[in-house]
Structure 1
Amino acid sequence: MLFRRRTPPSRTEKLRVAVWPRQSWKRSLKYFGKRVLRLSASPHAIAAGFACGVLVSWTPLFGFHFLMAMAVAMIVGGNVLAALFGTVVGNPLTFPLMWWASYSVGHWILGHGGRPPPPLHADLFHAPWAEIMRVLRPMLVGALPLGVVSGAIAYFIVRAAVRAYQAARRERLAARHRPEAGHAPSEVPGE
Protein backbone atom coordinates (compact mmCIF):
# COMPACT_ATOMS: atom_id res chain seq x y z
CA MET A 1 0.00 0.00 0.00
CA LEU A 2 1.13 3.50 -0.73
CA PHE A 3 0.41 5.15 2.65
CA ARG A 4 0.72 2.17 4.98
CA ARG A 5 3.00 2.45 8.00
CA ARG A 6 6.14 0.32 8.04
CA THR A 7 5.40 -0.85 11.57
CA PRO A 8 1.70 -1.30 12.27
CA PRO A 9 0.45 0.46 15.42
CA SER A 10 -0.12 -1.62 18.54
CA ARG A 11 -3.56 -1.97 20.10
CA THR A 12 -2.54 0.46 22.82
CA GLU A 13 -1.50 3.04 20.21
CA LYS A 14 -4.78 2.57 18.29
CA LEU A 15 -6.76 3.09 21.50
CA ARG A 16 -4.74 6.19 22.42
CA VAL A 17 -5.31 7.73 18.97
CA ALA A 18 -9.03 6.95 19.18
CA VAL A 19 -9.25 8.81 22.49
CA TRP A 20 -6.69 11.55 21.82
CA PRO A 21 -5.78 12.34 18.16
CA ARG A 22 -2.10 12.57 17.19
CA GLN A 23 -2.18 16.14 15.90
CA SER A 24 -4.90 17.74 18.05
CA TRP A 25 -8.65 17.87 18.58
CA LYS A 26 -8.75 21.21 16.77
CA ARG A 27 -7.21 19.72 13.64
CA SER A 28 -9.48 16.66 13.79
CA LEU A 29 -12.59 18.85 14.16
CA LYS A 30 -11.45 21.04 11.25
CA TYR A 31 -11.02 17.95 9.06
CA PHE A 32 -14.42 16.65 10.14
CA GLY A 33 -16.02 20.02 9.32
CA LYS A 34 -14.44 20.05 5.86
CA ARG A 35 -15.78 16.56 5.19
CA VAL A 36 -19.32 17.73 5.97
CA LEU A 37 -19.01 20.91 3.90
CA ARG A 38 -17.66 19.05 0.87
CA LEU A 39 -20.60 16.67 0.58
CA SER A 40 -22.30 16.98 -2.79
CA ALA A 41 -25.95 17.67 -2.03
CA SER A 42 -28.17 20.66 -1.41
CA PRO A 43 -27.51 22.69 1.75
CA HIS A 44 -30.94 21.62 3.05
CA ALA A 45 -30.25 17.91 2.53
CA ILE A 46 -26.82 18.08 4.19
CA ALA A 47 -28.12 20.13 7.12
CA ALA A 48 -31.20 17.93 7.55
CA GLY A 49 -29.05 14.80 7.54
CA PHE A 50 -26.61 16.24 10.05
CA ALA A 51 -29.49 17.36 12.28
CA CYS A 52 -30.90 13.81 12.20
CA GLY A 53 -27.56 12.47 13.42
CA VAL A 54 -27.46 15.04 16.22
CA LEU A 55 -31.03 14.20 17.26
CA VAL A 56 -30.34 10.47 17.38
CA SER A 57 -27.14 10.99 19.37
CA TRP A 58 -29.20 12.01 22.40
CA THR A 59 -30.88 8.61 22.69
CA PRO A 60 -29.42 6.03 25.07
CA LEU A 61 -29.66 3.35 22.35
CA PHE A 62 -25.91 3.45 21.83
CA GLY A 63 -25.43 0.58 19.36
CA PHE A 64 -28.19 1.74 17.04
CA HIS A 65 -27.25 5.38 16.41
CA PHE A 66 -26.02 4.82 12.83
CA LEU A 67 -29.06 2.80 11.82
CA MET A 68 -31.48 5.21 13.46
CA ALA A 69 -29.75 8.25 11.93
CA MET A 70 -29.90 6.71 8.45
CA ALA A 71 -33.57 5.82 8.84
CA VAL A 72 -34.57 9.26 10.12
CA ALA A 73 -32.51 10.96 7.38
CA MET A 74 -34.25 8.90 4.70
CA ILE A 75 -37.66 9.79 6.16
CA VAL A 76 -36.99 13.56 6.19
CA GLY A 77 -35.06 13.62 2.90
CA GLY A 78 -31.69 14.36 4.46
CA ASN A 79 -28.27 13.26 3.26
CA VAL A 80 -27.51 9.85 4.82
CA LEU A 81 -23.75 10.41 4.94
CA ALA A 82 -24.29 13.76 6.70
CA ALA A 83 -26.51 11.92 9.21
CA LEU A 84 -23.66 9.55 9.97
CA PHE A 85 -21.34 12.53 10.45
CA GLY A 86 -23.95 14.07 12.77
CA THR A 87 -23.83 11.10 15.13
CA VAL A 88 -20.28 12.08 16.01
CA VAL A 89 -21.77 14.77 18.27
CA GLY A 90 -22.44 11.89 20.64
CA ASN A 91 -19.03 10.53 21.58
CA PRO A 92 -17.32 9.20 24.71
CA LEU A 93 -16.57 12.75 25.84
CA THR A 94 -20.14 14.05 25.45
CA PHE A 95 -22.22 10.96 26.29
CA PRO A 96 -22.06 11.32 30.09
CA LEU A 97 -23.37 14.89 29.94
CA MET A 98 -25.98 14.06 27.26
CA TRP A 99 -27.28 11.04 29.13
CA TRP A 100 -27.40 12.89 32.45
CA ALA A 101 -29.29 15.78 30.78
CA SER A 102 -31.75 13.50 28.99
CA TYR A 103 -32.36 11.50 32.19
CA SER A 104 -32.94 14.69 34.22
CA VAL A 105 -35.24 16.29 31.62
CA GLY A 106 -37.16 13.04 31.16
CA HIS A 107 -37.51 12.62 34.90
CA TRP A 108 -38.98 16.14 35.08
CA ILE A 109 -41.28 15.64 32.04
CA LEU A 110 -42.67 12.40 33.46
CA GLY A 111 -43.98 14.40 36.40
CA HIS A 112 -41.50 13.56 39.07
CA GLY A 113 -41.08 17.32 39.55
CA GLY A 114 -38.61 18.47 42.13
CA ARG A 115 -38.06 15.03 43.62
CA PRO A 116 -34.55 13.76 42.97
CA PRO A 117 -34.27 10.70 40.74
CA PRO A 118 -34.24 7.44 42.68
CA PRO A 119 -30.85 5.76 43.11
CA LEU A 120 -29.86 3.44 40.31
CA HIS A 121 -28.95 -0.22 40.56
CA ALA A 122 -25.19 -0.58 40.89
CA ASP A 123 -24.86 -2.97 37.94
CA LEU A 124 -27.33 -2.20 35.16
CA PHE A 125 -25.96 -5.04 33.00
CA HIS A 126 -27.27 -7.61 35.47
CA ALA A 127 -30.26 -5.66 36.73
CA PRO A 128 -33.85 -6.82 36.28
CA TRP A 129 -35.67 -5.48 33.20
CA ALA A 130 -37.91 -3.24 35.34
CA GLU A 131 -34.84 -1.55 36.79
CA ILE A 132 -33.39 -0.96 33.33
CA MET A 133 -36.68 0.50 32.08
CA ARG A 134 -36.80 2.79 35.13
CA VAL A 135 -33.62 4.36 33.72
CA LEU A 136 -34.32 4.08 29.98
CA ARG A 137 -37.84 5.53 30.03
CA PRO A 138 -36.83 8.98 31.37
CA MET A 139 -33.76 8.99 29.12
CA LEU A 140 -35.82 8.30 26.00
CA VAL A 141 -38.47 10.88 26.99
CA GLY A 142 -35.83 13.51 27.78
CA ALA A 143 -33.79 12.76 24.66
CA LEU A 144 -36.62 13.82 22.34
CA PRO A 145 -36.89 17.54 23.26
CA LEU A 146 -33.14 17.90 23.76
CA GLY A 147 -32.47 16.17 20.43
CA VAL A 148 -35.04 18.27 18.56
CA VAL A 149 -33.66 21.54 19.95
CA SER A 150 -30.00 20.66 19.34
CA GLY A 151 -30.86 19.20 15.93
CA ALA A 152 -32.65 22.42 14.94
CA ILE A 153 -29.68 24.50 16.06
CA ALA A 154 -27.30 22.21 14.15
CA TYR A 155 -29.55 22.40 11.06
CA PHE A 156 -29.37 26.20 10.84
CA ILE A 157 -25.63 26.34 11.54
CA VAL A 158 -24.75 23.60 9.02
CA ARG A 159 -27.12 24.95 6.35
CA ALA A 160 -25.57 28.42 6.59
CA ALA A 161 -22.04 26.99 6.51
CA VAL A 162 -22.77 24.73 3.53
CA ARG A 163 -24.46 27.57 1.61
CA ALA A 164 -21.46 29.85 2.18
CA TYR A 165 -18.98 27.10 1.26
CA GLN A 166 -20.85 26.11 -1.90
CA ALA A 167 -21.26 29.75 -3.01
CA ALA A 168 -17.54 30.41 -2.50
CA ARG A 169 -16.70 27.22 -4.38
CA ARG A 170 -18.95 28.20 -7.31
CA GLU A 171 -17.28 31.61 -7.39
CA ARG A 172 -13.80 30.05 -7.41
CA LEU A 173 -14.77 27.72 -10.26
CA ALA A 174 -16.38 30.55 -12.24
CA ALA A 175 -13.26 32.70 -11.77
CA ARG A 176 -11.11 29.88 -13.14
CA HIS A 177 -13.17 29.60 -16.29
CA ARG A 178 -13.52 33.32 -16.99
CA PRO A 179 -11.18 34.62 -19.67
CA GLU A 180 -8.67 37.11 -18.31
CA ALA A 181 -9.33 40.77 -19.10
CA GLY A 182 -7.50 42.04 -22.18
CA HIS A 183 -6.89 38.62 -23.71
CA ALA A 184 -8.78 37.32 -26.70
CA PRO A 185 -10.38 33.93 -26.23
CA SER A 186 -8.19 31.18 -27.62
CA GLU A 187 -9.26 29.81 -30.93
CA VAL A 188 -10.01 26.15 -31.31
CA PRO A 189 -7.74 24.66 -33.99
CA GLY A 190 -9.46 23.21 -36.99
CA GLU A 191 -12.40 25.60 -37.15
Structure 2
Amino acid sequence: MVFKRRDRRPVWQIVLDFVYPRGGWGRAFEYVKHRVRRLPDTPEKISRGIAAGVFAAFTPFYGIHFVIAALLARMMRGNILAALLGTFFGNPLTYIPIGVSALTMGHWLLGRPFNAALFGFGHRDPEFCGLGCRFGSAFSDISHNFMAMFTSARADWHGLAEFYHEVFLPYLVGGIMPGIICGAGAYYICVPLISAYQKRRRKALRNKLSQLRKKAENTGDDSHG
Protein backbone atom coordinates (compact mmCIF):
# COMPACT_ATOMS: atom_id res chain seq x y z
CA MET A 1 0.00 0.00 0.00
CA VAL A 2 1.14 3.56 -0.74
CA PHE A 3 0.69 4.98 2.79
CA LYS A 4 1.90 1.91 4.69
CA ARG A 5 5.04 2.34 6.80
CA ARG A 6 8.09 0.69 5.24
CA ASP A 7 9.67 0.11 8.63
CA ARG A 8 7.10 -1.46 10.92
CA ARG A 9 7.64 -0.35 14.50
CA PRO A 10 7.88 -3.06 17.17
CA VAL A 11 5.33 -3.01 20.00
CA TRP A 12 7.88 -1.70 22.51
CA GLN A 13 8.65 1.26 20.20
CA ILE A 14 4.93 2.12 19.88
CA VAL A 15 4.55 2.08 23.67
CA LEU A 16 7.72 4.16 24.14
CA ASP A 17 6.57 6.75 21.57
CA PHE A 18 3.24 7.02 23.40
CA VAL A 19 4.91 7.61 26.77
CA TYR A 20 7.69 9.81 25.37
CA PRO A 21 7.19 10.87 21.72
CA ARG A 22 10.11 11.41 19.41
CA GLY A 23 11.40 14.92 19.89
CA GLY A 24 10.05 15.05 23.45
CA TRP A 25 6.81 16.32 24.93
CA GLY A 26 7.96 19.91 24.49
CA ARG A 27 8.02 19.49 20.72
CA ALA A 28 4.64 17.70 20.80
CA PHE A 29 3.06 20.56 22.78
CA GLU A 30 4.58 23.12 20.41
CA TYR A 31 3.03 21.27 17.48
CA VAL A 32 -0.41 21.23 19.14
CA LYS A 33 -0.11 24.94 20.01
CA HIS A 34 0.91 25.76 16.44
CA ARG A 35 -2.01 23.80 14.99
CA VAL A 36 -4.52 25.40 17.38
CA ARG A 37 -3.40 28.95 16.59
CA ARG A 38 -3.72 28.40 12.84
CA LEU A 39 -7.25 26.98 12.89
CA PRO A 40 -9.56 28.98 10.58
CA ASP A 41 -12.27 29.88 13.08
CA THR A 42 -13.17 32.50 15.66
CA PRO A 43 -11.20 32.56 18.94
CA GLU A 44 -14.39 31.79 20.88
CA LYS A 45 -15.26 28.68 18.83
CA ILE A 46 -11.68 27.41 18.93
CA SER A 47 -11.51 27.97 22.69
CA ARG A 48 -14.84 26.20 23.24
CA GLY A 49 -13.44 23.25 21.32
CA ILE A 50 -10.29 23.22 23.44
CA ALA A 51 -12.42 23.37 26.60
CA ALA A 52 -14.41 20.35 25.38
CA GLY A 53 -11.20 18.43 24.75
CA VAL A 54 -9.76 19.28 28.16
CA PHE A 55 -12.99 18.21 29.87
CA ALA A 56 -13.01 14.92 27.93
CA ALA A 57 -9.53 14.17 29.29
CA PHE A 58 -11.07 13.99 32.78
CA THR A 59 -13.52 11.24 31.84
CA PRO A 60 -12.74 7.52 32.35
CA PHE A 61 -13.57 6.69 28.71
CA TYR A 62 -9.99 6.00 27.68
CA GLY A 63 -9.66 5.16 24.02
CA ILE A 64 -12.66 7.26 22.95
CA HIS A 65 -11.68 10.68 24.34
CA PHE A 66 -11.65 11.96 20.75
CA VAL A 67 -15.29 10.89 20.31
CA ILE A 68 -16.37 12.44 23.64
CA ALA A 69 -14.54 15.69 22.81
CA ALA A 70 -16.07 15.90 19.32
CA LEU A 71 -19.60 15.34 20.64
CA LEU A 72 -19.14 17.95 23.39
CA ALA A 73 -17.67 20.45 20.92
CA ARG A 74 -20.65 19.96 18.63
CA MET A 75 -23.05 20.53 21.54
CA MET A 76 -21.12 23.64 22.60
CA ARG A 77 -20.82 24.92 19.01
CA GLY A 78 -17.07 24.76 19.29
CA ASN A 79 -14.39 23.83 16.77
CA ILE A 80 -14.22 20.03 16.55
CA LEU A 81 -10.58 19.90 15.44
CA ALA A 82 -9.65 22.13 18.38
CA ALA A 83 -11.51 19.70 20.64
CA LEU A 84 -9.45 16.79 19.31
CA LEU A 85 -6.25 18.75 19.93
CA GLY A 86 -7.52 19.71 23.39
CA THR A 87 -7.62 16.04 24.45
CA PHE A 88 -3.81 16.12 24.47
CA PHE A 89 -4.24 17.75 27.90
CA GLY A 90 -4.59 14.14 28.98
CA ASN A 91 -1.21 12.50 28.41
CA PRO A 92 1.22 10.27 30.32
CA LEU A 93 2.49 13.36 32.17
CA THR A 94 -0.99 14.31 33.48
CA TYR A 95 -2.85 10.99 33.75
CA ILE A 96 -1.75 10.39 37.35
CA PRO A 97 -2.75 13.83 38.76
CA ILE A 98 -6.00 13.68 36.74
CA GLY A 99 -6.76 10.19 38.04
CA VAL A 100 -5.92 11.04 41.65
CA SER A 101 -8.02 14.21 41.64
CA ALA A 102 -10.98 12.52 39.92
CA LEU A 103 -10.97 9.44 42.15
CA THR A 104 -10.47 11.46 45.33
CA MET A 105 -13.32 13.81 44.44
CA GLY A 106 -15.53 10.95 43.27
CA HIS A 107 -15.15 8.88 46.43
CA TRP A 108 -15.79 11.98 48.53
CA LEU A 109 -18.95 12.89 46.60
CA LEU A 110 -20.20 9.31 46.89
CA GLY A 111 -19.55 9.31 50.63
CA ARG A 112 -16.82 6.70 50.48
CA PRO A 113 -13.31 6.85 51.94
CA PHE A 114 -10.71 7.08 49.20
CA ASN A 115 -8.08 4.37 49.43
CA ALA A 116 -4.80 5.87 48.17
CA ALA A 117 -3.39 2.34 48.04
CA LEU A 118 -5.21 1.99 44.71
CA PHE A 119 -2.25 3.89 43.24
CA GLY A 120 0.27 1.83 45.17
CA PHE A 121 0.70 4.35 47.99
CA GLY A 122 1.04 3.10 51.55
CA HIS A 123 0.11 -0.57 51.28
CA ARG A 124 2.33 -3.52 52.15
CA ASP A 125 0.01 -6.42 51.43
CA PRO A 126 1.39 -8.27 48.37
CA GLU A 127 -2.10 -9.63 47.62
CA PHE A 128 -3.69 -6.16 47.55
CA CYS A 129 -5.42 -5.41 44.23
CA GLY A 130 -4.44 -1.93 43.11
CA LEU A 131 -5.57 0.14 40.16
CA GLY A 132 -3.70 -1.88 37.53
CA CYS A 133 -4.95 -5.11 39.07
CA ARG A 134 -8.57 -3.89 38.97
CA PHE A 135 -8.23 -2.89 35.33
CA GLY A 136 -6.83 -6.34 34.61
CA SER A 137 -9.65 -8.06 36.50
CA ALA A 138 -12.29 -6.06 34.63
CA PHE A 139 -10.83 -6.89 31.20
CA SER A 140 -10.36 -10.52 32.27
CA ASP A 141 -14.04 -10.74 33.23
CA ILE A 142 -15.13 -9.23 29.91
CA SER A 143 -12.94 -11.68 27.96
CA HIS A 144 -13.97 -14.69 30.07
CA ASN A 145 -17.69 -13.89 29.97
CA PHE A 146 -17.60 -13.33 26.22
CA MET A 147 -16.15 -16.80 25.74
CA ALA A 148 -18.68 -18.19 28.24
CA MET A 149 -21.44 -17.36 25.75
CA PHE A 150 -20.02 -20.01 23.41
CA THR A 151 -18.77 -22.56 25.95
CA SER A 152 -19.94 -24.27 29.11
CA ALA A 153 -17.92 -21.87 31.30
CA ARG A 154 -19.83 -19.93 33.94
CA ALA A 155 -19.95 -16.13 33.69
CA ASP A 156 -18.45 -14.20 36.59
CA TRP A 157 -18.83 -10.42 36.89
CA HIS A 158 -17.13 -10.02 40.29
CA GLY A 159 -13.97 -8.28 39.01
CA LEU A 160 -15.91 -6.00 36.67
CA ALA A 161 -18.36 -5.08 39.44
CA GLU A 162 -15.51 -4.13 41.78
CA PHE A 163 -13.88 -2.09 39.04
CA TYR A 164 -17.15 -0.24 38.38
CA HIS A 165 -17.81 0.61 42.04
CA GLU A 166 -14.22 1.33 43.09
CA VAL A 167 -12.79 2.98 39.97
CA PHE A 168 -15.13 3.75 37.06
CA LEU A 169 -18.10 5.32 38.88
CA PRO A 170 -15.99 7.47 41.27
CA TYR A 171 -13.78 8.52 38.34
CA LEU A 172 -16.84 9.44 36.25
CA VAL A 173 -18.47 11.44 39.07
CA GLY A 174 -15.29 12.97 40.41
CA GLY A 175 -13.91 14.03 37.04
CA ILE A 176 -16.84 16.36 36.33
CA MET A 177 -15.87 19.23 38.64
CA PRO A 178 -12.09 19.26 37.90
CA GLY A 179 -12.91 18.85 34.20
CA ILE A 180 -15.26 21.84 34.24
CA ILE A 181 -12.74 23.97 36.16
CA CYS A 182 -9.82 23.10 33.86
CA GLY A 183 -11.99 23.37 30.74
CA ALA A 184 -13.28 26.80 31.76
CA GLY A 185 -9.75 27.90 32.63
CA ALA A 186 -8.52 26.75 29.22
CA TYR A 187 -11.33 28.69 27.53
CA TYR A 188 -10.62 32.00 29.29
CA ILE A 189 -6.87 31.62 28.76
CA CYS A 190 -7.12 30.67 25.09
CA VAL A 191 -9.61 33.33 23.89
CA PRO A 192 -7.29 36.37 24.33
CA LEU A 193 -4.19 34.42 23.23
CA ILE A 194 -5.78 33.15 20.02
CA SER A 195 -7.40 36.54 19.36
CA ALA A 196 -4.05 38.33 19.73
CA TYR A 197 -2.32 35.79 17.49
CA GLN A 198 -4.97 36.09 14.78
CA LYS A 199 -4.73 39.89 14.86
CA ARG A 200 -0.94 39.76 14.52
CA ARG A 201 -1.27 37.24 11.70
CA ARG A 202 -3.82 39.38 9.82
CA LYS A 203 -1.61 42.44 10.25
CA ALA A 204 1.41 40.54 8.96
CA LEU A 205 -0.57 39.33 5.93
CA ARG A 206 -1.80 42.87 5.20
CA ASN A 207 1.76 44.20 5.40
CA LYS A 208 3.00 41.46 3.10
CA LEU A 209 0.19 42.12 0.63
CA SER A 210 0.95 45.85 0.72
CA GLN A 211 4.62 45.18 0.02
CA LEU A 212 3.71 42.94 -2.92
CA ARG A 213 1.43 45.63 -4.34
CA LYS A 214 4.16 48.27 -4.02
CA LYS A 215 6.64 45.95 -5.65
CA ALA A 216 4.22 45.29 -8.51
CA GLU A 217 3.58 49.02 -8.96
CA ASN A 218 7.31 49.79 -9.00
CA THR A 219 7.88 47.02 -11.54
CA GLY A 220 5.10 48.47 -13.74
CA ASP A 221 6.56 51.98 -13.53
CA ASP A 222 10.01 50.71 -14.47
CA SER A 223 8.65 48.85 -17.47
CA HIS A 224 6.79 51.96 -18.73
CA GLY A 225 9.85 54.09 -18.24
What is the TM-score normalised by the length of structure 1?
Answer: 0.82
Give the number of the structure whose alpha-carbon radius of gyration is greater: 2
Matched residues in 1 for 2:216 and 2:28: separation?
Answer: 45
Query: Which amino acid is the alignment partner of residue 175 of structure 1?
Result: N
Change (3 A) 1:21 1:175: same
In structure 1, what is the equivalent of residue 97 of structure 2?
Answer: 97
Q: How many residues align?
A: 186
In structure 1, what is the equivalent of residue 163 of structure 2?
Answer: 132
Query: What is the percentage of aligned positions where both structures have the same residue?
Result: 35
In structure 1, what is the equivalent of residue 201 of structure 2?
Answer: 169
Change (3 A) 1:119 1:22: closer
What secondary structure sits across from 2:7 in the alignment?
coil
Pairs within 5 Å for 1:18-57: 18-57=18-57
User: How big is the alpha-carbon RMSD for the aligned residues of Structure 1 and Structure 2?
Assistant: 3.2
Range moving further from structure 2, 44-53 or 84-93 = 84-93
Matched residues in 2 for 1:136 and 1:173: separation?
Answer: 49
CA contact (8 A) 1:106 1:142 kept: yes
Residue 192 of structure 2, aligned match among 160, 164, 167:
160
After the TM superposition, list the runs of 4 or more consecutive aligned residues in structure 1 that deviate by more than 6 angstroms: none
Matched residues in 1 for 2:206 and 2:91: separation?
Answer: 39
In structure 2, what is the equivalent of residue 67 of structure 1?
Answer: 67
Name structure 2 gaps, 5 residues minimum: 119-127, 139-157
Matched residues in 2 for 1:35 and 1:9: separation?
Answer: 27
Query: Which amino acid is the alignment partner of residue 83 of structure 1?
Result: A
In structure 1, what is the equivalent of residue 58 of structure 2?
Answer: 58
What is the TM-score normalised by the length of structure 2?
Answer: 0.71
Q: Are 1:8 and 2:19 an aligned pair? A: no
